[in-house]
Amino acid sequence: MRILSGVQSSGKLHLGNYFGAIKQFIELQDEGEALYFIANLHAMTTVRDGARMRGLTLDAALDFLALGLDPKKATLFRQSDIPEVTELFWYLSAVAPMGLLERAHSYKDKVAKGISSDIGLFTYPVLMAADILLYGSDVVPVGKDQVQHVEMTRDIATKFNLAYVPGYDPKRDENPKTRKIEGILRLPTARVQDQTASVPGVDGQKMSKSYDNTIDLFADDAVTKKKVMSIKSDSTPMESAKDPNANSIHALLSLFANETDLAEINRTYREGGKGYGHYKIQLLDLFHAYFDPARARRKELEGDLAHVESVLKDGAERARKTAGPIIEQCRLAVGMK
Ligand code: ADP
Ligand code: TRP
Protein backbone atom coordinates (compact mmCIF):
# COMPACT_ATOMS: atom_id res chain seq x y z
CA MET A 1 0.00 0.00 0.00
CA ARG A 2 1.36 3.39 -0.96
CA ILE A 3 0.31 6.22 1.35
CA LEU A 4 0.75 9.86 0.41
CA SER A 5 -0.15 13.18 1.92
CA GLY A 6 0.97 16.78 2.02
CA VAL A 7 0.79 19.69 4.41
CA GLN A 8 0.93 23.27 3.23
CA SER A 9 3.75 25.33 4.62
CA SER A 10 1.55 28.31 5.16
CA GLY A 11 1.78 28.79 8.92
CA LYS A 12 2.46 27.22 12.28
CA LEU A 13 1.00 23.80 13.01
CA HIS A 14 -1.95 23.68 15.39
CA LEU A 15 -3.98 21.03 17.21
CA GLY A 16 -6.42 20.78 14.27
CA ASN A 17 -3.60 19.95 11.85
CA TYR A 18 -2.17 17.42 14.28
CA PHE A 19 -5.30 15.52 15.31
CA GLY A 20 -6.99 15.94 11.92
CA ALA A 21 -4.03 14.93 9.80
CA ILE A 22 -0.45 14.61 11.02
CA LYS A 23 -1.07 12.10 13.79
CA GLN A 24 -2.47 9.66 11.24
CA PHE A 25 0.41 10.27 8.84
CA ILE A 26 2.89 9.32 11.47
CA GLU A 27 0.99 6.23 12.53
CA LEU A 28 0.66 5.12 8.91
CA GLN A 29 4.41 5.09 8.33
CA ASP A 30 4.33 1.62 9.91
CA GLU A 31 1.56 0.34 7.65
CA GLY A 32 2.88 0.85 4.18
CA GLU A 33 5.18 2.80 1.92
CA ALA A 34 4.57 6.35 3.10
CA LEU A 35 5.40 9.55 1.21
CA TYR A 36 4.84 12.91 2.87
CA PHE A 37 5.63 16.27 1.43
CA ILE A 38 5.59 19.92 2.30
CA ALA A 39 3.17 21.55 -0.11
CA ASN A 40 5.10 24.77 -0.67
CA LEU A 41 3.71 25.24 -4.20
CA HIS A 42 0.20 25.15 -2.78
CA ALA A 43 1.22 27.56 -0.04
CA MET A 44 2.10 30.11 -2.73
CA THR A 45 -1.62 30.81 -3.02
CA THR A 46 -1.38 32.58 0.34
CA VAL A 47 2.31 33.24 1.19
CA ARG A 48 3.82 35.92 -1.02
CA ASP A 49 7.24 36.47 0.50
CA GLY A 50 10.18 34.30 -0.54
CA ALA A 51 12.11 34.47 2.73
CA ARG A 52 8.99 33.68 4.72
CA MET A 53 8.18 30.77 2.41
CA ARG A 54 11.68 29.31 2.84
CA GLY A 55 11.36 29.63 6.61
CA LEU A 56 7.89 28.08 6.74
CA THR A 57 9.00 25.18 4.55
CA LEU A 58 11.87 24.39 6.87
CA ASP A 59 9.56 24.81 9.87
CA ALA A 60 7.21 22.22 8.43
CA ALA A 61 10.07 19.75 8.02
CA LEU A 62 11.17 20.33 11.62
CA ASP A 63 7.61 19.84 12.80
CA PHE A 64 7.21 16.52 10.99
CA LEU A 65 10.50 15.15 12.26
CA ALA A 66 9.89 16.36 15.82
CA LEU A 67 6.43 14.77 15.86
CA GLY A 68 7.86 11.36 15.03
CA LEU A 69 8.15 11.04 11.28
CA ASP A 70 10.98 8.58 10.79
CA PRO A 71 12.86 9.25 7.54
CA LYS A 72 13.99 5.63 7.47
CA LYS A 73 10.37 4.51 7.26
CA ALA A 74 8.71 7.40 5.40
CA THR A 75 9.89 9.58 2.53
CA LEU A 76 9.75 13.28 3.45
CA PHE A 77 10.28 15.87 0.72
CA ARG A 78 9.49 19.33 -0.58
CA GLN A 79 6.82 19.44 -3.25
CA SER A 80 8.86 21.92 -5.29
CA ASP A 81 11.85 19.56 -5.47
CA ILE A 82 9.90 17.35 -7.85
CA PRO A 83 9.62 19.11 -11.23
CA GLU A 84 7.50 16.26 -12.57
CA VAL A 85 4.60 17.40 -10.39
CA THR A 86 4.12 20.68 -12.25
CA GLU A 87 4.51 18.82 -15.53
CA LEU A 88 1.73 16.38 -14.60
CA PHE A 89 -0.33 19.31 -13.31
CA TRP A 90 -0.41 20.64 -16.86
CA TYR A 91 -1.31 17.29 -18.46
CA LEU A 92 -4.19 17.04 -15.98
CA SER A 93 -5.30 20.64 -16.51
CA ALA A 94 -5.87 19.80 -20.14
CA VAL A 95 -8.54 17.22 -19.19
CA ALA A 96 -9.97 18.69 -15.95
CA PRO A 97 -13.45 20.18 -16.46
CA MET A 98 -14.04 23.76 -15.28
CA GLY A 99 -17.35 22.69 -13.75
CA LEU A 100 -15.60 20.20 -11.49
CA LEU A 101 -13.31 22.88 -10.10
CA GLU A 102 -16.15 25.35 -9.76
CA ARG A 103 -17.84 22.97 -7.35
CA ALA A 104 -14.88 22.86 -4.93
CA HIS A 105 -16.01 23.90 -1.42
CA SER A 106 -12.53 24.84 -0.39
CA TYR A 107 -12.17 27.32 -3.27
CA LYS A 108 -15.57 28.84 -2.59
CA ASP A 109 -14.83 29.10 1.16
CA LYS A 110 -11.45 30.72 0.60
CA VAL A 111 -12.83 33.30 -1.79
CA ALA A 112 -15.67 33.99 0.66
CA LYS A 113 -13.04 34.58 3.36
CA GLY A 114 -11.39 37.22 1.19
CA ILE A 115 -8.46 35.33 -0.37
CA SER A 116 -8.16 36.68 -3.92
CA SER A 117 -9.47 34.29 -6.56
CA ASP A 118 -6.29 33.80 -8.56
CA ILE A 119 -5.93 31.06 -11.16
CA GLY A 120 -3.58 29.24 -8.80
CA LEU A 121 -6.22 29.10 -6.10
CA PHE A 122 -8.80 27.91 -8.62
CA THR A 123 -6.59 25.16 -10.05
CA TYR A 124 -5.27 24.16 -6.61
CA PRO A 125 -7.16 20.82 -6.74
CA VAL A 126 -5.49 19.94 -10.07
CA LEU A 127 -2.05 20.42 -8.55
CA MET A 128 -3.20 18.32 -5.62
CA ALA A 129 -4.36 15.65 -8.06
CA ALA A 130 -0.91 15.74 -9.68
CA ASP A 131 0.69 15.29 -6.22
CA ILE A 132 -1.38 12.22 -5.56
CA LEU A 133 -1.37 10.60 -9.00
CA LEU A 134 2.32 11.11 -9.74
CA TYR A 135 3.30 8.49 -7.18
CA GLY A 136 0.52 5.99 -7.86
CA SER A 137 -0.84 6.58 -4.35
CA ASP A 138 -3.42 4.17 -2.91
CA VAL A 139 -4.38 5.94 0.29
CA VAL A 140 -4.45 9.65 1.05
CA PRO A 141 -4.88 10.48 4.74
CA VAL A 142 -6.44 13.95 5.07
CA GLY A 143 -8.71 16.08 7.21
CA LYS A 144 -12.42 16.10 6.39
CA ASP A 145 -12.19 19.35 4.42
CA GLN A 146 -9.81 17.74 1.92
CA VAL A 147 -11.94 14.70 1.09
CA GLN A 148 -13.62 16.48 -1.80
CA HIS A 149 -10.20 17.19 -3.30
CA VAL A 150 -9.35 13.48 -3.23
CA GLU A 151 -12.66 12.72 -4.90
CA MET A 152 -11.87 15.31 -7.56
CA THR A 153 -8.51 13.58 -8.01
CA ARG A 154 -10.33 10.35 -8.82
CA ASP A 155 -12.52 12.19 -11.34
CA ILE A 156 -9.53 13.83 -13.01
CA ALA A 157 -7.58 10.55 -13.12
CA THR A 158 -10.60 8.83 -14.67
CA LYS A 159 -10.83 11.59 -17.31
CA PHE A 160 -7.16 11.18 -18.12
CA ASN A 161 -7.39 7.41 -18.32
CA LEU A 162 -10.52 7.62 -20.52
CA ALA A 163 -8.80 10.06 -22.83
CA TYR A 164 -5.52 8.19 -23.20
CA VAL A 165 -6.10 4.50 -22.54
CA PRO A 166 -8.00 2.84 -25.41
CA GLY A 167 -10.92 0.75 -24.12
CA TYR A 168 -10.51 2.03 -20.56
CA ASP A 169 -13.45 1.12 -18.34
CA PRO A 170 -13.40 2.78 -14.90
CA LYS A 171 -15.70 0.05 -13.54
CA ARG A 172 -13.14 -2.67 -13.99
CA ASP A 173 -10.03 -0.60 -13.60
CA GLU A 174 -8.21 -2.65 -11.02
CA ASN A 175 -7.63 -6.39 -10.77
CA PRO A 176 -8.40 -7.09 -7.10
CA LYS A 177 -5.92 -9.98 -6.97
CA THR A 178 -2.87 -8.59 -8.73
CA ARG A 179 -3.72 -4.91 -7.97
CA LYS A 180 -2.72 -4.15 -11.53
CA ILE A 181 -4.63 -1.24 -13.05
CA GLU A 182 -5.75 -0.82 -16.64
CA GLY A 183 -5.42 2.93 -16.54
CA ILE A 184 -2.19 4.90 -16.40
CA LEU A 185 -3.18 6.75 -13.25
CA ARG A 186 -4.25 4.86 -10.13
CA LEU A 187 -7.45 6.03 -8.41
CA PRO A 188 -6.69 6.92 -4.77
CA THR A 189 -8.87 6.67 -1.66
CA ALA A 190 -9.12 9.32 1.07
CA ARG A 191 -8.75 8.25 4.68
CA VAL A 192 -10.24 10.44 7.41
CA GLN A 193 -9.97 9.88 11.11
CA ASP A 194 -13.58 10.26 12.16
CA GLN A 195 -13.49 10.96 15.89
CA THR A 196 -11.27 13.97 15.41
CA ALA A 197 -12.50 14.96 11.99
CA SER A 198 -13.02 18.58 13.02
CA VAL A 199 -11.11 20.08 15.93
CA PRO A 200 -12.70 23.28 17.28
CA GLY A 201 -10.68 26.41 17.96
CA VAL A 202 -10.66 28.66 21.04
CA ASP A 203 -13.70 30.55 19.72
CA GLY A 204 -15.78 27.41 19.03
CA GLN A 205 -15.46 27.60 15.21
CA LYS A 206 -13.32 25.04 13.35
CA MET A 207 -9.69 25.54 14.36
CA SER A 208 -7.88 27.20 11.48
CA LYS A 209 -4.97 29.55 11.08
CA SER A 210 -7.19 31.77 8.97
CA TYR A 211 -9.56 32.32 11.92
CA ASP A 212 -6.84 33.24 14.41
CA ASN A 213 -8.31 30.72 16.86
CA THR A 214 -5.55 28.11 17.01
CA ILE A 215 -3.61 26.42 19.78
CA ASP A 216 -0.21 25.89 18.16
CA LEU A 217 1.95 22.84 18.84
CA PHE A 218 5.27 24.60 19.17
CA ALA A 219 4.48 28.03 20.64
CA ASP A 220 6.29 29.22 23.78
CA ASP A 221 4.87 27.98 27.07
CA ALA A 222 3.49 31.41 27.97
CA VAL A 223 1.73 31.79 24.63
CA THR A 224 0.25 28.30 24.90
CA LYS A 225 -1.06 29.05 28.36
CA LYS A 226 -2.59 32.32 27.23
CA LYS A 227 -4.31 30.60 24.32
CA VAL A 228 -5.73 27.79 26.43
CA MET A 229 -6.95 30.20 29.10
CA SER A 230 -8.60 32.30 26.37
CA ILE A 231 -10.91 29.49 25.21
CA LYS A 232 -14.36 30.98 25.03
CA SER A 233 -16.65 29.60 27.74
CA ASP A 234 -19.76 30.98 29.42
CA SER A 235 -20.86 31.99 32.86
CA THR A 236 -22.29 28.63 33.98
CA PRO A 237 -21.47 28.60 37.73
CA MET A 238 -18.95 26.12 39.06
CA GLU A 239 -21.52 24.02 40.92
CA SER A 240 -23.85 23.62 37.92
CA ALA A 241 -23.88 20.86 35.35
CA LYS A 242 -22.26 21.81 32.06
CA ASP A 243 -23.15 21.13 28.47
CA PRO A 244 -20.16 19.48 26.75
CA ASN A 245 -21.25 21.02 23.46
CA ALA A 246 -21.62 24.59 24.74
CA ASN A 247 -18.00 25.48 23.90
CA SER A 248 -14.83 23.78 22.69
CA ILE A 249 -13.30 22.83 26.08
CA HIS A 250 -14.81 19.36 26.30
CA ALA A 251 -13.97 18.50 22.69
CA LEU A 252 -10.35 19.60 23.20
CA LEU A 253 -10.04 17.65 26.45
CA SER A 254 -11.36 14.57 24.68
CA LEU A 255 -8.43 14.67 22.24
CA PHE A 256 -5.97 14.01 25.03
CA ALA A 257 -7.74 12.40 27.96
CA ASN A 258 -7.48 8.66 28.46
CA GLU A 259 -10.62 6.62 29.18
CA THR A 260 -10.44 6.99 32.96
CA ASP A 261 -9.81 10.75 32.83
CA LEU A 262 -12.58 11.21 30.33
CA ALA A 263 -15.08 9.25 32.43
CA GLU A 264 -14.26 11.55 35.36
CA ILE A 265 -14.54 14.67 33.18
CA ASN A 266 -17.91 13.47 31.90
CA ARG A 267 -19.10 12.79 35.44
CA THR A 268 -18.24 16.30 36.68
CA TYR A 269 -19.74 17.85 33.54
CA ARG A 270 -22.98 16.00 34.35
CA GLU A 271 -22.99 16.63 38.08
CA GLY A 272 -21.31 20.04 38.28
CA GLY A 273 -18.70 21.00 40.87
CA LYS A 274 -15.85 22.06 38.58
CA GLY A 275 -15.52 25.43 36.85
CA TYR A 276 -14.27 26.02 33.32
CA GLY A 277 -11.00 27.36 34.77
CA HIS A 278 -10.33 23.93 36.24
CA TYR A 279 -10.89 22.22 32.88
CA LYS A 280 -8.64 24.70 31.11
CA ILE A 281 -5.75 23.99 33.50
CA GLN A 282 -6.34 20.28 33.03
CA LEU A 283 -6.23 20.79 29.25
CA LEU A 284 -2.97 22.71 29.52
CA ASP A 285 -1.42 19.93 31.62
CA LEU A 286 -2.58 17.28 29.18
CA PHE A 287 -1.24 19.32 26.26
CA HIS A 288 2.21 19.50 27.85
CA ALA A 289 2.29 15.87 28.86
CA TYR A 290 1.46 14.95 25.27
CA PHE A 291 3.60 17.38 23.29
CA ASP A 292 6.58 18.20 25.50
CA PRO A 293 8.74 15.35 24.16
CA ALA A 294 8.15 16.57 20.58
CA ARG A 295 8.74 20.17 21.66
CA ALA A 296 12.13 19.18 23.09
CA ARG A 297 13.04 17.19 19.96
CA ARG A 298 12.22 20.16 17.80
CA LYS A 299 14.61 22.36 19.76
CA GLU A 300 17.38 19.80 19.18
CA LEU A 301 16.67 19.60 15.45
CA GLU A 302 16.81 23.39 15.16
CA GLY A 303 20.47 23.04 16.09
CA ASP A 304 21.12 20.58 13.25
CA LEU A 305 19.59 22.07 10.13
CA ALA A 306 22.12 20.33 7.89
CA HIS A 307 20.57 17.04 8.96
CA VAL A 308 17.08 18.30 8.14
CA GLU A 309 18.24 19.49 4.72
CA SER A 310 19.81 16.11 3.97
CA VAL A 311 16.61 14.30 4.95
CA LEU A 312 14.68 16.46 2.47
CA LYS A 313 17.20 15.96 -0.30
CA ASP A 314 17.26 12.23 0.16
CA GLY A 315 13.45 12.20 0.29
CA ALA A 316 13.20 14.10 -3.00
CA GLU A 317 15.53 11.61 -4.69
CA ARG A 318 13.45 8.69 -3.51
CA ALA A 319 10.17 10.38 -4.51
CA ARG A 320 11.48 11.14 -8.01
CA LYS A 321 12.43 7.51 -8.45
CA THR A 322 8.89 6.47 -7.62
CA ALA A 323 7.44 9.12 -9.95
CA GLY A 324 9.75 8.30 -12.87
CA PRO A 325 7.93 5.41 -14.56
CA ILE A 326 4.50 6.99 -14.07
CA ILE A 327 5.37 10.37 -15.58
CA GLU A 328 7.16 8.60 -18.43
CA GLN A 329 3.98 6.68 -19.25
CA CYS A 330 2.03 9.95 -19.18
CA ARG A 331 4.52 11.66 -21.53
CA LEU A 332 4.23 8.80 -23.99
CA ALA A 333 0.44 8.72 -23.75
CA VAL A 334 -0.04 12.45 -24.36
CA GLY A 335 2.52 12.46 -27.16
CA MET A 336 5.20 14.59 -25.58
CA LYS A 337 7.66 11.77 -26.21
P1 ADP B 1 -5.75 25.66 8.26
O2 ADP B 1 -7.26 25.50 8.24
O3 ADP B 1 -5.26 26.05 9.59
O4 ADP B 1 -5.28 26.57 7.15
P5 ADP B 1 -4.81 23.58 6.56
O6 ADP B 1 -5.92 23.88 5.61
O7 ADP B 1 -3.43 23.93 6.17
O8 ADP B 1 -5.17 24.23 7.95
O9 ADP B 1 -4.89 22.04 6.91
C10 ADP B 1 -3.83 21.13 7.00
C11 ADP B 1 -4.38 19.76 7.35
O12 ADP B 1 -4.93 19.77 8.68
C13 ADP B 1 -5.52 19.30 6.44
O14 ADP B 1 -5.43 17.91 6.23
C15 ADP B 1 -6.76 19.65 7.22
O16 ADP B 1 -7.85 18.86 6.87
C17 ADP B 1 -6.31 19.43 8.66
N18 ADP B 1 -7.02 20.34 9.55
C19 ADP B 1 -6.89 21.68 9.59
N20 ADP B 1 -7.68 22.21 10.54
C21 ADP B 1 -8.34 21.17 11.10
C22 ADP B 1 -9.32 21.06 12.15
N23 ADP B 1 -9.76 22.12 12.81
N24 ADP B 1 -9.76 19.84 12.47
C25 ADP B 1 -9.33 18.74 11.82
N26 ADP B 1 -8.41 18.78 10.83
C27 ADP B 1 -7.93 19.97 10.46
N1 TRP C 1 -4.44 20.71 0.11
C2 TRP C 1 -3.92 20.05 1.27
C3 TRP C 1 -4.25 20.85 2.52
O4 TRP C 1 -4.48 22.03 2.47
C5 TRP C 1 -2.42 19.88 1.17
C6 TRP C 1 -2.07 19.00 0.03
C7 TRP C 1 -1.50 19.37 -1.15
C8 TRP C 1 -2.30 17.60 -0.06
N9 TRP C 1 -1.34 18.31 -1.97
C10 TRP C 1 -1.81 17.20 -1.33
C11 TRP C 1 -2.85 16.66 0.81
C12 TRP C 1 -1.88 15.85 -1.74
C13 TRP C 1 -2.92 15.32 0.38
C14 TRP C 1 -2.44 14.94 -0.89
O15 TRP C 1 -4.25 20.28 3.57
Closest CA to 151 of 120, 189, 192: 189
Q: How far, in whole angstroms, is CA 63 from its chain's centroid?
A: 13
Tell me the CA–centroid distance for residue 187 and ligand 2, in Å: 16
User: Packing angle between helix 276-302 and helix 305-334, nearest 10 degrees?
Assistant: 90
Q: How far apart are CA 279 and CA 275, in angstroms?
A: 7
Question: Is 290 within the bounds of a domain?
Answer: yes
Question: Is 206 within the bounds of a domain?
Answer: no
Whole domain around residue 250: which residue ranges? 219-299
For ligand 1, atom 22, name the residue with the nearest CA: 16
Closest CA to 120 of 51, 43, 54: 43
Contact 85 CB / ligand 2 (< 6 Å): no
Contact 146 CB / ligand 2 (< 6 Å): yes
Q: How far apart are CA 224 and CA 218, in angstroms?
A: 8
Contact 8 CB / ligand 2 (< 6 Å): yes
Q: Cβ distance 189 to 182 under 8 Å?
A: no
Residues 104 and 188 in one domain: yes
Tell me the CA–centroid distance for residue 224 and ligand 1, in Å: 19
Residues 183-215 have pLDDT tens digits of: 999 999 999 877 666 899 999 999 998 889 999
Q: Cβ distance 94 to 100 under 8 Å?
A: no
Residues 319 and 268 in one domain: no
Q: Which ligand is nearest to the CA of 149?
A: 2
Residues 64 and 139 in one domain: yes
Contact 80 CB / ligand 2 (< 6 Å): no
Q: How far apart are CA 13 and CA 63, in angstroms?
A: 8
- When divided into structural domains, the chain yields a total of 2
Tell me the CA–centroid distance for residue 20 and ligand 1, in Å: 7
Tell me the CA–centroid distance for residue 208 and ligand 1, in Å: 6
In the prediction, which pLDDT does 215 show? 97
Residues 46 and 142 in one domain: yes
Q: How far apart are CA 164 and CA 126, in angstroms?
A: 18
Residues 95 and 45 in one domain: yes
List the CATH number of the domain containing 227: 1.10.240.10
Contact 129 CB / ligand 2 (< 6 Å): no
Tell me the CA–centroid distance for residue 173 and ligand 1, in Å: 32
> Partners of 34 in the beta sheet?
3, 74
Residues 271 and 177 in one domain: no
Question: Is 329 within the bounds of a domain?
Answer: yes
The 8 Å CB, 24+ separation contacts for 291-295 are 291/217, 294/66, 294/67, 294/68, 294/217, 295/66, 295/217, 295/218
Residues 268 and 191 in one domain: no
163-173 b/e (C-beta count within 10 Å ≥ 16 → b): ebbeebebeeb
In the prediction, which pLDDT does 195 show? 66
Question: Is 207 within the bounds of a domain?
Answer: no
Residues 77-91 have pLDDT tens digits of: 999 999 999 999 999
Tell me the CA–centroid distance for residue 248 and ligand 2, in Å: 26
pLDDT by residue, tens only, the chain of 337 residues: 999 999 988 788 999 989 988 998 899 999 999 999 999 999 999 899 999 999 999 999 999 999 999 999 999 999 999 999 999 999 999 999 999 999 999 999 889 988 889 999 999 999 999 999 999 999 999 888 899 999 999 999 999 999 999 999 998 888 889 989 999 999 999 998 776 668 999 999 999 988 899 999 999 999 999 999 999 998 899 999 999 999 999 999 999 999 999 999 999 999 999 999 999 999 999 999 999 999 999 999 999 999 999 999 999 999 999 999 999 999 999 999 9
Identity of the amino acid at 104: A
Residues 44 and 184 in one domain: yes
Question: Is 157 within the bounds of a domain?
Answer: yes
Question: Is 184 within the bounds of a domain?
Answer: yes
Residues 176 and 246 in one domain: no
Residues 170 and 229 in one domain: no
Question: Is 26 within the bounds of a domain?
Answer: yes
List the CATH number of the domain containing 105: 3.40.50.620
Residues 326 and 265 in one domain: no
Residues 250 and 326 in one domain: no
Tell me the CA–centroid distance for residue 278 and ligand 2, in Å: 37
For 241-307, the three-class secondary structure string (H helix, E strand, C coil) is CCCCCCCCHHHHHHHHCCHHHHHHHHHHHHHCCCCHHHHHHHHHHHHHHHHHHHHHHHHHHHCCHHH
DSSP for 51-87? HHHHHHHHHHHHHHHHTT--TTTEEEEEGGG-HHHHH
For ligand 1, atom 15, name the residue with the nearest CA: 143
Question: Is 176 within the bounds of a domain?
Answer: yes
Residue ranges around ligand 1 (CB below 6 Å): 7-8, 10, 16-17, 20-21, 142-143, 145-146, 198-199, 206-210
Q: Cβ distance 66 to 106 under 8 Å?
A: no
Q: Which ligand is nearest to the CA of 14?
A: 1
For ligand 1, atom 11, name the residue with the nearest CA: 17
